[in-house]
């Protein structure tokens, strides 16, 4: 029996050993020996995974005090109307059906309403609003559950963006650029500070089913862009296997797969004995991680262990792929150390029939959102989580038939969690909700603030690509200080 063979018998046990070192392995490989990520121009040598503890370019360094460890972005895709959600405009109600004063709209970019720009009419808010909680924040009655968490959230009524169509607007919201191919914010965050998860990707994307979700969503929205590919978001599918190829081939048991993975590693190690091959250990770590994911992903998705009270709070049937079920999964991902969690719900593109359709979509997201906030709070996790809630743009105060068109001059979002003041409203739009006139907040500002809460100075998280140091915030970005606690 050869010495290698004996060696192998010992190594058979590696999967039973704890795997704290994987992030460190990945990082060491990325950095190479020079300790600089940019030492090899134009490419990233070495090895990394989509997951892995640590693994960020900043290592343990943080530029500013860390307020949160993770981000959950609840993306209301399609462009949620601010006028039916968080920005009540009584004057608009008064002018319902009247011509829209041209002073607001002249020379402004419109989307589908462009063709009827000369006969624009006001459309009043379709729902009543209430003053909620101790703070008395005004929230639409269509969100009874979110109303109950009013004191936890900071509403921003003065959001603005630059892109008036879905695809580029999402790209802008996620990457800070309209040019496809730039890294998304989840990729930036993982590139900067890595992840705390040992057996799941650091950036997970969930998309929900149900509720007339017409607009497509592209995987570009969670792309790593020019960052190394281990920072890309991994989309967990709501149908079939949650992660592609996570299931063994038919006829292969977990034990058989384990033996196979171990044999691959054993063979790779034999190669490493024959030639100098320093990346072998990194590769073996990737195979171990893959094998672990084959168990951890189904484990994550299996919410049978949740109590009936929890399921009732979220109002979901486990595994139904609904937004509420994804909110519950978001909490489970957060518990497992995933750094950036993004939920898409695509039902907000209400060009027509906004009253019924908005109500329907609101019903699908209201309870899950509030449940996630309170569940995290009760588990002591809200204080180190940042929740971002909102869409890629807002909607016009003018009617488009029975709906509203896309709108970039004003929309609402809310922030919630560590380092964020609850119960405050920041910024304001004009009396018709057309333009953010008080403390406008740009998408770049949102990015800067998010990074700040994670302990990162947005000016100092850069990556050199095509000869330029790129940032998530491009050359812009200011902190939204009034909402910070």
Partner 1 sequence: MIRSTFLLLLLCAIFPASLRGEETLSFNRDIRPILSDKCFACHGPDKNTREADLRLDVREEAVAMEAIVPGDLKASEVYWRMVTDDDSEIMPPPETHKALTEEEKRILSRWIEEGAKYEAHWAYLPIRRPEVKGESGLHPIDVLVLDRLEAEGLNFSAKAEEATLLRRLHFDITGLPPQPGDLDKFRQVGISRYVDTLLDSSHFGERMAIEWLDAVRYADTVGYHGDQNVEVSAYRDWVIKAYNENKSFDQFTIEQIAGDLLPDATLDQKVAASYHRLGQTSQEGGIQDAEYLAKYQAERVRTTSTAWMGSTLACAECHDHKFDPYTARDFYEFAAYFADILEKGAWTGDGSYQEDIKPYQQAGIAFGKRGPQLAVPTIEEKERIAKLETEVVAAKEELQAPRSELSGAAMQWAEGWRGKTISDGPFDYVYLAEKGERNGVDTNGWKFVTAKEGKVHEGSVARLQKSDGLLQHIGKSSGKPLLISEGDQLFSYVWLDPKNPPKQVMLQFHHSKGGWSHRAWWGEDVIPYGQGSDGPSHHRVADLPETGKWIRLEVPVEAVGLVPGDEVTQLAFTQHGGTVYWDTAGIHTSSQKYREELMPAGIRDLITKPADQWSEKEKATLLAEYRKVAPELEPQRTRLRNLEGQLAEAKKAERTIPATVSAKAREIRILPRGNWTDRSGEVVQSGTPHFLPQLKKEKAGSRLELAQWLVSPENPLTARTYVNRLWARFFGTGISGVVDDLGSQGEWPTHPELLDWLAADFIESGWDIKKLVKTIVLTKTYAQSSESSPELDEKDPYNRLLARQSGLRLPAELVRDNALAVSGLLNPKIGGRSARPYQPAGYYQHLNFPRRTYQADQDENQYRRGLYTHWQRTFLHPAMKAFDAPSREECTMERDASSTPLQALVLLNDPSFVESAKALAANSEDVTDLFRKALTRLPTPDELVVLEELAESERKRLRDDSEAANGLLSVGLKKIETEDEIELAARTAVARVVLNLKETITRY
Residues 192-231 that bind partner 1 (CB under 8 A): 207, 209, 214-220, 223, 228-230
Residues 337-356 that bind partner 1 (CB under 8 A): 346
Residue among 111 and 480 whose Cβ is closer to partner 1: 111
Binding residue for partner 1 (CB under 8 A) from 16, 18, 43, 380? 43
Residues 197, 199, 204, 207: is their CA dihedral positive or negative?
A: negative
CB 480 within 8 A of CB 156: yes
**261 contacts partner 1 (rule: CB under 8 A):** yes
Binding residue for partner 1 (CB under 8 A) from 66, 138, 148, 165? 165
Site string for partner 1, 175-194 (x = CB under 8 A): ----xxx-------------
- Smallest distance from partner 1 to CB 70, Å: 20
Residues 291-310 that bind partner 1 (CB under 8 A): 291, 293-294
From 249-257, 306-314, 380-388, 446-454, span contacting partner 1 (CB under 8 A): 249-257
Residues 353-412 that bind partner 1 (CB under 8 A): 405-406
What tokens appear for 203 in the block? 């950036």
**474 contacts partner 1 (rule: CB under 8 A):** no
CB 44 within 8 A of CB 37: yes
Binding residue for partner 1 (CB under 8 A) from 71, 132, 149, 246? 246
**103 contacts partner 1 (rule: CB under 8 A):** no
From 54-62, 236-244, 352-360, 445-453, span contacting partner 1 (CB under 8 A): 236-244
Residue among 263 and 356 whose Cβ is closer to partner 1: 263
Q: Determine the longest span between alpha carbons in the chain, in angstroms.
A: 91
Residue among 164 and 454 whose Cβ is closer to partner 1: 164
Give the residue among 453, 448, 452, 436 at the shortest CA–CA distance from 472. 448
Distances (CA, A) of 483 to 70, 345, 422, 441, 455: 18, 25, 8, 11, 16
Give the residue among 204, 206, 202, 212 at the shortest CA–CA distance from 239. 206
**112 contacts partner 1 (rule: CB under 8 A):** yes
Q: Dihedral of the CA atoms 99, 100, 101, 103 (nearest 10)?
A: -140
Give the residue among 389, 311, 385 at the shortest CA–CA distance from 345. 389
What tokens appear for 199 in the block? 């057996």
Residue among 207 and 449 whose Cβ is closer to partner 1: 207
Binding residue for partner 1 (CB under 8 A) from 49, 55, 202, 315? 49
CB 425 within 8 A of CB 459: no
Binding residue for partner 1 (CB under 8 A) from 379, 459, 478, 481? 459
Binding residue for partner 1 (CB under 8 A) from 177, 257, 359, 435? 257
Site residue total, partner 1 (CB under 8 A): 101
**245 contacts partner 1 (rule: CB under 8 A):** yes
Return the CA Rg of the chain: 24
- Smallest distance from partner 1 to CB 431, Å: 26
Binding residue for partner 1 (CB under 8 A) from 253, 307, 308, 309? 253
CB 210 within 8 A of CB 360: no
Residues 127-156 that bind partner 1 (CB under 8 A): none
Binding residue for partner 1 (CB under 8 A) from 237, 310, 402, 421? 237
Binding residue for partner 1 (CB under 8 A) from 101, 136, 278, 353? 278
Residue among 94 and 259 whose Cβ is closer to partner 1: 259
Q: What is the helix (H) or strand (E) element at residue 285, kind and residue range?
A: helix 280-301
d(CA 221, CA 305): 32
CB 202 within 8 A of CB 232: no
Query: Given phi > 0 = left and psi -120 to 50 = alpha, else beta, which region is 24?
Result: alpha
Residue among 46 and 419 whose Cβ is closer to partner 1: 46
Residue 123 has, within 13 A of its CA and on its CB side, a CA count of 24
From 88-96, 123-131, 275-283, 381-389, span contacting partner 1 (CB under 8 A): 275-283
Residues 368, 369, 370, 374: is their CA dihedral positive or negative?
A: positive
Complete DSSP assignment for 367-419? HHHHHHHHHHHHTT-GGGEEEEEE-S-EEEEEEETTEEEEESS-EEEEEEETT
d(CA 431, CA 425): 16
- Smallest distance from partner 1 to CB 134, Å: 40
SS3 131: strand
Q: How many residues does the chain have?
A: 485
- Smallest distance from partner 1 to CB 376, Å: 27
Residue among 36 and 317 whose Cβ is closer to partner 1: 36
- Smallest distance from partner 1 to CB 31, Å: 10
- Smallest distance from partner 1 to CB 375, Å: 27
Residues 12-41 that bind partner 1 (CB under 8 A): 29, 32-34, 39-41
């Amino acid at each position: 029996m050869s010495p290698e063979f004996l060696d192998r018998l010992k190594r058979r046990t590696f999967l039973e050993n704890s795997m704290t070192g994987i992030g460190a392995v990945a990082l060491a490989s990325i950095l190479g020996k020079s300790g600089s990520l940019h030492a090899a121009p134009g490419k990233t040598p070495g090895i990394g995974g989509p997951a892995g503890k640590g693994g960020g370019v900043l290592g343990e360094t943080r530029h500013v005090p860390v307020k949160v460890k993770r981000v959950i972005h609840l993306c209301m895709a399609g462009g949620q109307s601010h006028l039916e959600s968080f920005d009540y405009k009584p004057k608009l109600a008064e002018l319902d059906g009247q011509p829209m004063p041209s002073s607001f709209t002249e020379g402004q970019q419109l989307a589908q309403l462009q063709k009827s720009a000369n006969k624009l009419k006001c459309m009043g808010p379709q729902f009543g609003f209430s003053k909620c909680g101790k703070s008395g924040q005004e929230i639409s009655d269509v969100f009874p559950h979110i109303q109950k968490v009013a004191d936890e959230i900071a509403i921003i009524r003065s959001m603005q963006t630059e892109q008036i169509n879905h695809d580029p607007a999402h790209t802008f919201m996620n990457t800070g650029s309209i040019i496809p191919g730039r890294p998304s914010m989840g990729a930036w965050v993982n590139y900067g500070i890595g992840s705390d998860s040992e057996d799941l990707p650091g950036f997970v994307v969930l998309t929900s089913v149900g509720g007339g979700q017409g607009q497509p969503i592209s995987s570009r929205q969670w792309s790593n862009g020019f960052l190394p590919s281990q920072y890309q978001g991994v989309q967990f599918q709501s149908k079939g296997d949650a992660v592609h190829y996570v299931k063994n081939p038919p006829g292969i048991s977990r034990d058989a797969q384990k033996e196979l993975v171990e044999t691959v590693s054993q063979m790779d190690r034999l190669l490493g004995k024959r030639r100098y091959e320093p990346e072998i250990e990194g590769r073996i770590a990737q195979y171990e991680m893959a094998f672990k994911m084959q168990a951890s992903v189904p484990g994550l998705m299996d919410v049978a262990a949740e109590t009936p009270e929890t399921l009732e709070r979220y109002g979901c049937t486990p595994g139904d792929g609904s937004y509420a079920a994804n909110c519950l999964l978001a909490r489970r991902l957060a518990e497992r150390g995933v750094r950036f969690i993004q939920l898409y719900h695509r039902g907000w593109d209400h060009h027509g029939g906004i009253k019924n359709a908005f109500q329907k979509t609101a019903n699908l997201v209201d309870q899950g959102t509030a449940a996630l906030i309170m569940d995290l709070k009760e588990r002591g996790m809200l204080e180190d989580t940042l929740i971002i809630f909102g869409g890629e743009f807002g909607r016009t105060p003018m009617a488009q038939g029975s709906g509203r068109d896309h709108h970039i001059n004003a929309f609402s979002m809310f922030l919630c969690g560590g380092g964020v003041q609850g119960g405050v409203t920041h910024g304001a739009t004009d009396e018709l909700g057309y333009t953010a006139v008080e403390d406008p907040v740009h998408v770049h500002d949102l990015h800067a603030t998010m990074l700040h809460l994670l302990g990162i100075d947005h000016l100092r998280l850069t990556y050199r690509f095509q000869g330029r140091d790129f940032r998530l915030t491009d050359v812009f970005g200011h902190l939204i200080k009034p909402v910070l606690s």
